[in-house]
Structure 1
Amino acid sequence: MLGAGTQSDPYIVKTPDDLNNVRNNLTASYQLGNDIDMSSWGNWNPISFYDGNNWVNGFSGNFDGKGFRIKNLTVNKNNNEIYLGLFGQFHNGTLQNVGMENVQINTNNAGNCSYAGSLVGFSYGATIKNCFSINGSVKAKDESGGLIGKIDTGIVHNCYSSNQVTITSEYYGGGLIGSVDSNSVVRNSYSSGRVIYTNSSSYNGKSGFAGFIRSNSNILFENCFFDKQSSNQETSPTIGISGKTTIEMKNQSTYTNWDFTNTWLIKNDYPSLRAFGVPIVANKGTISVNAYTNSTNSLAAKSQKSVKQLETFQQPVYTNSERHIATLRLSESYGLPIFSVAEKSTRTVRSGQFNVITFINPISSSVERKSKTFKHLLSSLSPLGSDISVLYPLSTRVINAHVYALETPSRAYMIENISKVSYMENPSSWEVID
């Protein structure tokens, strides 16, 4: 296992083998690293249980479940074994944040197996808090409960159980705790499991939460409840334990002074601990439902798409034609050749040869600096001449004339190499006098 077994660096329990090895160091600190399924383990020997022959010291370290669960643990004992559960004995340490699911503790009716609980058989001087056990069963002779068999000089806080408890003698058992002895405190806890006595017992009917409670022994119960319907136990044996109906047990207002902000949550069911998340609702049974429907008839008529016809009418189109006689003017334009004069000048700025003396061999270097070549492009344009011939009107009729203007620009394109040429337009223009 990982860890050093100290409170600051506890051993990490992640497998059934890790859990079994806890018995090899009963004073160390442990914590669960994940849920553990014990279904393949078989018959579990509780940590620190008494087999009727060899006495074993109780576990006195610390065990923190960290909100994980131990599932499908089975304990089968037939003779005189006592202190049965995940832990047989848990003394003077802290056991917290452990969830137990489907734990089965079975003993022989003829045996003397006692002090049984799904989590702890017998606890002395220990603190047990934020723990639960559900969907399981505990069967033993006496002093046995759904979560804890017996506590003495200990504290139980924020715990619950729904396990069925069966007592095979005339003695006592309880829904959460089988018996509570001197100098013990139990707060904010409940039970909802059924409690069954196979023999006639004076404790039957008042063992919904706890069976035997030693009188005048500095024992305190605060805000504890049991379901008097599901447990089949009607009477509360002492102050601080109240029997409620199932409906009341699923109502938050029943649980006065409980912390439903940080510790508990309730959603139309019994309360559960926030450290373990929202509980999964147990399967109450399977119901097969056969559904039948009558034949479905449909009357469908064939429908034809509607046809839309669009007719467009256009009025006659009339045109007016007029003949116009215009004066014809002819214009001819000539573009004379464009002559360009380009000058090129090259200037050598400096040319020479220099010797560089070193301590190895002379190095000679030829340095020549040349300026860029400047090109000047001069363009000249001779005047353009235009000859216009005019034909005079043949009659005095009003003439509508249409004139179009034609441009014959002269253009020179720019070529960049330091030389720059701009272009000039020399349009031909004329006037028309009607």
Structure 2
Amino acid sequence: MKRVYIAFIVILTLVLIFVVTSCVPQHPSLVSVRSIYDAKLKILNSAGPVSLDKVEGTIIYVSGSDAIIHDGQTGIYVYKAGFYSSDVGKKITLNNVIGTTYRDSVQIDFSKGGSKSFATETFTVEPTDLTIDIANNVSVPTRALWDFQYVKVYGILNGGKMTFTYEYDKTNKRKATINVVSLSSSFSLPYTYDTEATLTGYLQFSNGAWSLKVLSAEIGDSYPGVGVFVDEVVDGKTFKVNGQTYELIGIDDSVDSSTAKARLEEFINSQPEGIAQVLVKGEKDGKRYAFLFSKDGKTLYQEQALKDGVIVPNLAEEWEDITIYETLKNAYKSAYSSKKGVYSTFSGASVITVESSNTYVEGNYAIFSGTVSDVTKDEAGNININVSNWLKITISAGNFKYLFSSTFEQFKQSLEGKGINFYGKAKRNEGILEMPLYAEWEMFSFESGSGTPDDPYIITKPEHLISVRAFASANKYFKLGADIDLAGVDWTPIGTYSSNLSASAFVGTFDGNGHKIMNISFNDTTKSNAGLFGYLYNATVTNLIIENANITASSRAGALAGASQLSKVYRVKVVNSSVRVTYSGSGYGGGLIGEATDGTEIEECTVRNTIVSGVKYAIGGLLGRLKVNSGKPAVVVRNCYVEGGQVSSDYSSSTSSAGFICNFSAASGSAVIENNYVAASIINGKAFIAYKESGSADPVVTSSYYDTQVVGLGVSDSYATGKTTAEMKQQATFAGWDFTNVWTINEGNDYPRLKWEN
């Protein structure tokens, strides 16, 4: 009976509490949290900002006045809290602050109020091991734990791709790949070759994906070798120690013998106490064969010299330690791969044909041009290429494996009966020129043609397109004979910027012939001038469709070209692609071209269903920047459009991006912009032109329009005319446009389209 009475009293008390509190007006109150993890869960589960009474942690990173604080379990980004770099390592308490998401990144926004106080005690944050496939895990609890988590992870830096592959499940050997970004000025990413690394930094979920922001790194393995004093450098690959001769494995120094020797001497003399490490891998003919490392064991001389171009790979011989051989061979190949398809001496090399073969001086580099009679392989796997019965080219089995991914049968079929050019140096043997090919040579070929206006080089496969780079500045004519799929190709743009554009840019005529180039992929945020072409100069590109391009660079990037000058771009279409620039300033990223300057003419071009984005300024749907220098020819942009997709900047400013051209810099009358339109989403920018640069005249835009319902709110500008979606699908809207020869429209159902697209 007593128990029943007590239970009755408890129930009555609860009912009274409920009645009383339900009659009292309820007001929002601060959310009490016990950890950063709890705070982030509250933020992620809320539809809007959340008030947090107290958040404690240790400052592990400061950028400007922002910081990341960590409590040993996880971290959170703190925006505009007035931190300094000297605050790193201090324990801090934040009171009465607002937790929110910016885009999709969790943070505390101190600009909306709050206070902070530093504690006298300190707390050291140790990095956490990354034990899940973070790239494919975006649940709320996972994000709350791992977003801004301080981690240390071992894996492989994937050369040139800004990605890192790590093993998160060692038991089942499961791996994952994540994007990486360097936050330390003393640490450069990416490396041009795959290398082992242990990275320390923090994770961030932003723009719908995870990335690892690297604070520090331990790069590569240390190889145990013998520390030695070198007595004498004989040549670029041979040196002596205590009377014993060592020859470096896997390189040929004959390409630049004097420079190679000087570089080897410089490398050895630069080591602390003059001691280098030698890893001996074999001995024959009185020589010891070795790899040469820096004193700390982390810098391999051969790799560095390969990247600098003073030696070339020679990997015909196998060595007993297969593991290290394969590792170093791949490193050599990656270090040298930047020269694939292009050789700086092509432009000045003599061209040797059957008629001029008798005048060839032995040992000179030259282009050997002829028709392949047959291709054979001997029992050892060595390849022999017979060219017009006056040139015999041999490729050792080891070098064939190094240089080609194709099978012998594919290789044979691609060469026999074709006109081919080889670069290298040959010797005479019984009246025949013989040339063993290592990696100092490059093969370049086309389906047919001689590069003249009446007989252009015909391109029908990726190898042919790569070969265009060898003639980028030769003012040749090229024409697509088929669609080209570059999936899996490590693309290097054709032509680039230098102080002498006529010698470095693409200077020629490229006719797409109505065909597509698909799946161009370039991702290197240390490079500028990126796209199918790096830089167009006195060039013409016509009748081309670029589909599913994915271009990421530091600055001056576009699906077609990073930049152009004095060039004609006519009837080029970019579709279903993405372009991103990462420079924290004026990145000049454009759906078609990053920066179009003096004398560029762009007509009847389109960018459709494409995402163009950048970290800060000068992001444009068609062009990132239009610039005409004083006294130079006008830039013309006529009969073009941007439709579908999105143009955006990460930086919150109305002048950061634009649907058509972001930055405009030209004197009065030096730019013609007419008969164009935009119907794409704009974030942090303007509908048509966003920014008139200092000293520029006002842009003069004629008969150009944008869809007010598609571009978004607050992005309108005064340069083009805003129309509703319904109006944009009516021919009457487009005053003065040529709907007979240039444009067509499905009245009431679609935007205007260019006739050549159909």
Q: Normalised by the size of structure 2, how large is the TM-score?
A: 0.33
Cα distance change on mapping 1:215 and 1:59 into 2, 3 Å: closer
Q: Which residue of 1 aligns with 2:520?
A: 73
Q: Which has the higher helix share?
A: 2
Residue 46 (structure 1) aligned to one of 480, 487, 493: 493
Residue 219 (structure 1) aligned to one of 671, 674, 685: 671
- Root-mean-square deviation over aligned CA pairs: 2.4
Q: Check conservation: 1:165, 1:195, Cα contact below 8 A.
A: yes
Q: Check conservation: 2:548, 2:575, Cα contact below 8 A.
A: yes
Alignment of 1:33 onto 2:481:
yes
Cα distance change on mapping 1:30 and 1:255 into 2, 3 Å: farther
Instruction: Tell me the distance in 1 between the aligned counterparts of 2:570 and 2:533.
Output: 15
Alignment of 1:13 onto 2:492:
no
Q: Which residue of 1 aligns with 2:639?
A: 188
Q: Which residue of 2 aligns with 1:159?
A: 605
Q: Which residue of 1 aligns with 2:745?
A: 266
Instruction: Tell me the distance in 1 between the aligned counterparts of 2:652 and 2:676.
Output: 26
Cα distance change on mapping 1:187 and 1:166 into 2, 3 Å: same
Q: By how many angstroms is 1:46 displaced? A: 0.7
Residue 57 (structure 1) aligned to one of 504, 512, 532: 504
Alignment of 1:102-117 (within 5 A): 102-107=548-553, 113-117=554-558
Instruction: Tell me the distance in 2 between the aligned counterparts of 1:253 and 1:95.
Output: 32
Question: What is the identity, as a one-letter code, of the residue corresponding to 2:495?
Answer: S
Instruction: Tell me the distance in 2 between the aligned counterparts of 1:225 and 1:253.
Output: 14
Question: What is the identity, as a one-letter code, of the residue corresponding to 1:274?
Answer: K
Secondary structure of 2:465's partner?
A: helix
Q: Which residue of 1 aligns with 2:321?
A: none
Q: Check conservation: 2:491, 2:521, Cα contact below 8 A.
A: yes
Question: What is the identity, as a one-letter code, of the residue corresponding to 1:121?
Answer: G
Q: By how many angstroms is 1:82 displaced? A: 0.9
Q: By how many angstroms is 1:202 displaced? A: 4.6
Cα distance change on mapping 1:276 and 1:16 into 2, 3 Å: farther
Alignment of 1:181-330 (within 5 A): 181-182=627-628, 183-192=634-643, 193-204=645-656, 207-216=658-667, 218-227=670-679, 230-232=681-683, 233-237=685-689, 238-240=699-701, 241-245=704-708, 246=710, 247=725, 248-267=727-746, 268-277=749-758
Q: Check conservation: 1:49, 1:56, Cα contact below 8 A.
A: no
Residue 127 (structure 1) aligned to one of 561, 568, 585: 568
Instruction: Tell me the distance in 2 between the aligned counterparts of 1:95 and 1:273.
Output: 17
Q: Check conservation: 2:538, 2:566, Cα contact below 8 A.
A: yes
Q: Check conservation: 1:67, 1:275, Cα contact below 8 A.
A: no
Q: By how many angstroms is 1:143 displaced? A: 0.7
Question: What is the identity, as a one-letter code, of the residue corresponding to 2:636?
Answer: V
Give the number of equivalent residue pairs: 265
Cα distance change on mapping 1:68 and 1:226 into 2, 3 Å: same
Q: Check conservation: 1:39, 1:72, Cα contact below 8 A.
A: yes
Question: What is the identity, as a one-letter code, of the residue corresponding to 2:486?
Answer: M
Q: By how many angstroms is 1:56 displaced? A: 6.7
Cα distance change on mapping 1:63 and 1:239 into 2, 3 Å: same
Fraction of identical pairs, as percent: 36
Q: Which residue of 2 aligns with 1:318?
A: none
Q: By how many angstroms is 1:276 displaced? A: 4.0
Q: Check conservation: 1:50, 1:56, Cα contact below 8 A.
A: no
| Residues 164-218 of structure 1, C-alpha deviations (whole Å, 9 max, x = no match) | 111112x2111101100112111111112311111233513x6110011104251
Q: Check conservation: 2:546, 2:573, Cα contact below 8 A.
A: yes
Question: What is the identity, as a one-letter code, of the residue corresponding to 1:269?
Answer: D
Moved more, 232-241 or 91-100: 232-241
Question: What is the identity, as a one-letter code, of the residue corresponding to 1:144?
Answer: G
Cα distance change on mapping 1:265 and 1:82 into 2, 3 Å: same
Instruction: Tell me the distance in 2 between the aligned counterparts of 1:262 and 1:235.
Output: 27
Secondary structure of 1:4's partner?
A: coil
Q: Which residue of 2 aligns with 1:332?
A: none
Secondary structure of 2:605's partner?
A: strand
Q: By how many angstroms is 1:258 displaced? A: 3.5
Question: What is the identity, as a one-letter code, of the residue corresponding to 1:243?
Answer: Y
Q: By how many angstroms is 1:243 displaced? A: 2.1
Instruction: Tell me the distance in 2 between the aligned counterparts of 1:127 and 1:195.
Output: 24
Instruction: Tell me the distance in 1 between the aligned counterparts of 2:622 and 2:733.
Output: 18
Moved more, 93-102 or 243-252: 243-252
Secondary structure of 1:186's partner?
A: strand
Structure 2 unmatched runs, 5+: 1-445, 629-633, 690-698, 711-724
Q: By how many angstroms is 1:236 displaced? A: 3.7
| Residues 349-373 of structure 1, C-alpha deviations (whole Å, 9 max, x = no match) | xxxxxxxxxxxxxxxxxxxxxxxxx
Q: Check conservation: 1:68, 1:276, Cα contact below 8 A.
A: no
Instruction: Tell me the distance in 2 between the aligned counterparts of 1:19 and 1:117.
Output: 18
Instruction: Tell me the distance in 1 between the aligned counterparts of 2:707 and 2:588.
Output: 23
Q: By how many angstroms is 1:23 displaced? A: 0.6
Instruction: Tell me the distance in 2 between the aligned counterparts of 1:24 and 1:250.
Output: 45
Instruction: Tell me the distance in 1 between the aligned counterparts of 2:530 and 2:733.
Output: 33
Secondary structure of 2:595's partner?
A: strand
Moved more, 232-241 or 10-19: 232-241
Q: By how many angstroms is 1:132 displaced? A: 1.1
Q: Check conservation: 2:580, 2:613, Cα contact below 8 A.
A: yes
| Residues 332-353 of structure 1, C-alpha deviations (whole Å, 9 max, x = no match) | xxxxxxxxxxxxxxxxxxxxxx
Cα distance change on mapping 1:12 and 1:249 into 2, 3 Å: farther
Instruction: Tell me the distance in 1 between the aligned counterparts of 2:470 and 2:569.
Output: 22
Q: Normalised by the size of structure 1, how large is the TM-score?
A: 0.57
Q: Check conservation: 2:678, 2:687, Cα contact below 8 A.
A: no
Secondary structure of 1:230's partner?
A: strand
Q: By how many angstroms is 1:7 displaced? A: 1.2
Instruction: Tell me the distance in 2 between the aligned counterparts of 1:57 and 1:117.
Output: 18
Question: What is the identity, as a one-letter code, of the residue corresponding to 1:21?
Answer: S
Q: By how many angstroms is 1:68 displaced? A: 1.0
Instruction: Tell me the distance in 2 between the aligned counterparts of 1:174 and 1:207.
Output: 5
Instruction: Tell me the distance in 2 between the aligned counterparts of 1:65 and 1:221.
Output: 25
Q: Which residue of 1 aligns with 2:593?
A: 148
Cα distance change on mapping 1:68 and 1:252 into 2, 3 Å: farther
Question: What is the identity, as a one-letter code, of the residue corresponding to 2:505?
Answer: G
Instruction: Tell me the distance in 2 between the aligned counterparts of 1:70 and 1:272.
Output: 21
Instruction: Tell me the distance in 1 between the aligned counterparts of 2:512 and 2:735.
Output: 27
Cα distance change on mapping 1:16 and 1:186 into 2, 3 Å: same
Cα distance change on mapping 1:9 and 1:258 into 2, 3 Å: farther
Structure 1 unmatched runs, 5+: 108-112, 278-434
Cα distance change on mapping 1:164 and 1:275 into 2, 3 Å: same
Instruction: Tell me the distance in 2 between the aligned counterparts of 1:5 and 1:135.
Output: 31
